[in-house]
């Protein structure tokens, strides 16, 4: 480098000598001094454009402090600091070369080489948990991004069945003076929407559904004045739902059971119906289900079902052994619906509810509202209506238009017990109000049945796995054998969990956004990889929260930093020499023109 500088200096001196000689030998001696000065300035400026003038400045800095920039840092305010700035983000380094930011490929290595550092000033969105772990023994002063607008947090089910709703919930901050509409869309259709008022931070919940099986990508968009200011992908998998298995225990046949049996069969429920004929005799009926002996209720039998529907009288008639088996299965997750009439309930299962028979013993018409649904049903005539009194810990399922309770539920162990005093819902079906009938039973069944967790054998560790970033694939096998894993036909090496021998993890760096094929021992699955700018506000909010939590849980008292004088090298701006070069050359050209 010094050799080229000497050559450039020699050529500049030679050029300057030539220009000065030409000017001195000119016949026209007007403006000679100015022409000589302009020649010197022109050649000097050209040289200093190639090799800028550097000078030393001395600044007071805190020796034990270290300034780290992350995405979203306010560089204008940070750059006013006297200290050197560092970043782990190559994008910040490349886009802000004028600020003389130093790029660190490895934070741990730099800190180990500078043991004098005790305090870290962190600016922007914060760090990932993997980087924060490297700062356990340091005091951190965190100055986060302010006023993050958009979807600040979000969640949805990654796997649902073809009968479930996809529910996207989160929080949106609208910092503008105009309202924003959040729209959930999928398969070319807008499925749900909600409006966020101007300058409002509000929770939202959007629903969508598909009966198809496979992998889907819905989108949630923030629309303002017909422009999309946010558009994020919502990937999920839809699997086929296994039939819900229902056991009906009837003390005697009635129309309610008859219509319910037909409706359950038409909607692909697996049904077993046991009707008591005498004290020890029963009739049995099976729909979408293989036959089995229902005479004796025991643990093995009840384990096969997700929901028991029984009238209060039949539950009272159960033997002590049957009640014990039923109680234990409810505690383990089984659902029970108790039907009561206008007579005082006598079973122990109804005892946990407060029943209130109306004083007026006459038929009345009632319209009902179901949980999470403001639409009223068509009127249903009920003779001798029975209402339920509210209990603080219970979940109300069906109320009339005056807010009186007719179907209530409570938790028992990890299962649920529900009770309903509507004994003639079949009247809806008889009158052609199939929608009301279906809504009534769907709400009761969905809120009472045994909850079966969807098994996810393959999943990604990160909430928003990103392209070109390190991602960890988690897999749970049926044995301890090392699985063969590949992502997009590229094999990756798994690592066994030291505590659980059937759990494995594998690290990979995806090069394709969207759905990526994962193959494990012949099992083909799909995982979704996001672009680096996807869910930006949610990611920033999460990082800020995690960084504050880390600081709170790892408080370090650092001694007062020592202030030292640090020498820094700066350059005179190239623009100054460029302007001098243009002015001097312009003067020489103009003077030659007017002198001819």
What's phi and psi for 23, nearest 5 deg? -70, -40
Residue 226 gets the label, from left (phi > 0), alpha (psi -120 to 50) or beta, of: left
Output DSSP code: residue 466.
Answer: B
Domains of the chain, first to last: 2-53+572-595 (no CATH), 57-147+542-571 (3.40.50), 159-240 (2.60.40.10), 245-446 (3.40.50.880), 465-529 (2.60.40.1590)
In tens digits, the chain (596 residues) has pLDDT values of: 567 777 777 788 887 787 777 777 777 777 778 878 888 888 888 888 877 777 776 665 555 788 899 988 887 767 655 678 899 888 888 877 666 788 898 888 888 888 888 889 999 999 988 889 888 888 899 999 988 999 999 999 999 988 888 999 999 999 999 999 999 999 999 999 999 999 999 999 999 988 899 999 999 999 999 899 999 999 999 998 888 999 999 999 999 999 999 999 998 899 999 999 988 899 999 999 999 999 999 999 999 999 999 999 999 999 999 999 999 999 999 999 999 987 888 899 998 898 887 655 567 889 999 988 878 999 999 888 889 999 989 999 999 988 899 999 999 999 999 999 999 999 999 999 999 999 999 999 989 998 866 555 678 888 899 999 889 999 888 777 889 999 999 999 999 988 888 889 999 999 999 999 999 988 899 999 999 889 999 999 999 999 999 998 887 765 555 555 556 677 777 888 888 888 888 887 877 777 76
CA distance 594 to 596: 6
**DSSP states of 389-401:** E--TTSEEEEEET
- Decide if 504 contacts 496 (C-beta within 8 A): yes
507-510: long-range contacts at Cβ-Cβ below 8 A with a sequence spacing of 24 or more? 507/470, 507/471, 507/472, 507/473, 508/470, 508/471, 508/473, 509/468, 509/469, 509/470, 509/471, 510/465, 510/467, 510/468, 510/469, 510/471
CA distance 214 to 192: 21
User: CB atoms < 10 A from the CB of 451, how many?
Assistant: 11
Supply the pLDDT for residue 79.
63
CA distance 329 to 325: 6
**Residue 498 half-sphere exposure toward CB, CA atoms < 13 A:** 0
User: CB atoms < 10 A from the CB of 315, how many?
Assistant: 23
- Decide if 294 contacts 305 (C-beta within 8 A): no
- Decide if 301 contacts 294 (C-beta within 8 A): yes
Supply the pLDDT for residue 75.
77
CA distance 262 to 428: 14
Radius of gyration of the chain (CA): 38
Sequence-ordered strand ranges (E) for 461-500: 471-476, 485-487, 490-492, 494-496
Supply the pLDDT for residue 189.
94
- Decide if 390 contacts 356 (C-beta within 8 A): no
CA distance 52 to 26: 33
Supply the pLDDT for residue 567.
61
Supply the pLDDT for residue 441.
95
H-type helices in 273-396, by residue range? 299-302, 312-317, 320-331
CA distance 45 to 135: 48
Supply the pLDDT for residue 360.
53
């Amino acid at each position: 480098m010094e050799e080229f500088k000497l050559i450039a200096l020699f050529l500049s001196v030679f050029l300057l000598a030539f220009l000065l000689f030409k000017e001195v030998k000119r016949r026209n001696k007007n403006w000679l001094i100015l022409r000589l000065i302009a020649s010197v300035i022109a050649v000097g400026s050209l040289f200093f454009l190639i090799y800028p003038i550097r000078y030393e400045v001395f600044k007071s800095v805190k020796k034990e402090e270290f300034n780290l920039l992350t995405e979203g840092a306010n560089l204008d305010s940070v750059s006013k600091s006297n200290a050197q700035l560092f970043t782990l983000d190559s994008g910040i380094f490349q886009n802000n070369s004028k600020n003389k930011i130093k790029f660190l490929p490895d934070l741990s290595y730099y800190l180990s080489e500078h043991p004098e550092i005790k305090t870290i000033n962190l600016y922007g969105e914060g760090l990932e948990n993997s980087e924060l772990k490297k700062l356990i023994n340091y005091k951190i002063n965190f100055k986060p991004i302010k006023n993050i607008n958009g979807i600040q947090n979000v969640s949805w089910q990654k796997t649902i069945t073809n009968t479930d709703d996809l529910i996207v919930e989160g929080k949106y901050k609208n910092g503008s003076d105009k309202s924003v509409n959040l729209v959930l869309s999928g398969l070319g259709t807008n499925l749900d929407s909600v409006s966020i008022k101007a300058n409002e931070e509000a929770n939202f919940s959007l629903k969508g559904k598909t009966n198809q099986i496979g992998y889907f990508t819905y989108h949630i968009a923030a629309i303002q004045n017909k422009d999309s200011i946010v558009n994020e992908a919502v990937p999920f998998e839809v699997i086929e739902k296994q039939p819900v298995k229902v056991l009906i225990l009837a003390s005697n046949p009635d129309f309610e059971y008859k219509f319910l049996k037909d409706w359950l069969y038409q909607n692909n429920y697996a049904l077993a119906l046991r009707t008591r004929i005498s004290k020890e005799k029963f009739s049995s009926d099976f729909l979408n289900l293989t036959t089995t002996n229902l005479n004796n209720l025991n643990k093995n039998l009840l384990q096969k079902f997700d929901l028991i529907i029984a009238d209060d009288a039949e539950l009272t008639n159960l033997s002590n052994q049957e009640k014990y088996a039923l109680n234990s299965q409810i505690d383990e997750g089984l659902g029970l619906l108790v039907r009561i009439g206008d007579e005082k309930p006598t079973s122990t299962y109804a005892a946990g509810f407060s029943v209130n028979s109306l004083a007026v013993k006459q038929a009345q018409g009632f319209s009902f509202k179901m949980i999470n649904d403001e639409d009223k049903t068509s009127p249903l005539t009920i003779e001798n209506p029975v209402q339920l009194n509210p209990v603080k810990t219970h979940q109300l399922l069906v109320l009339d238009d005056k807010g009186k309770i007719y179907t209530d539920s409570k938790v028992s162990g990890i299962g649920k017990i529900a009770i309903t005093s509507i004994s003639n819902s079949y009247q809806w079906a008889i009158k052609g109000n199939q929608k009301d009938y279906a809504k009534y039973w769907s709400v009761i069944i969905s809120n009472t049945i045994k909850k079966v967790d969807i098994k996810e054998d393959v999943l990604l560790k990160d909430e928003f796995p990103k392209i070109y970033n390190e991602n960890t694939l988690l897999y749970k096998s049926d044995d301890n054998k090392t699985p063969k894993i590949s992502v997009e036909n590229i094999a990756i090496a798994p690592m066994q969990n030291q505590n659980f021998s059937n759990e494995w993890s594998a690290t990979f760096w995806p090069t394709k956004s969207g759905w990526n094929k994962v193959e494990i021992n012949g099992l083909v699955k799909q995982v979704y990889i996001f672009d680096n700018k996807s869910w930006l506000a949610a990611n920033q909010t999460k990082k800020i929260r995690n960084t504050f939590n880390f600081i709170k849980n790892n408080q370090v008292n650092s001694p007062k930093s020592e202030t030292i004088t640090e020498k820094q090298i700066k350059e005179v701006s190239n623009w100054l020499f460029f302007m001098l070069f243009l002015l001097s050359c312009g003067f020489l050209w103009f003077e030659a023109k007017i002198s001819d």
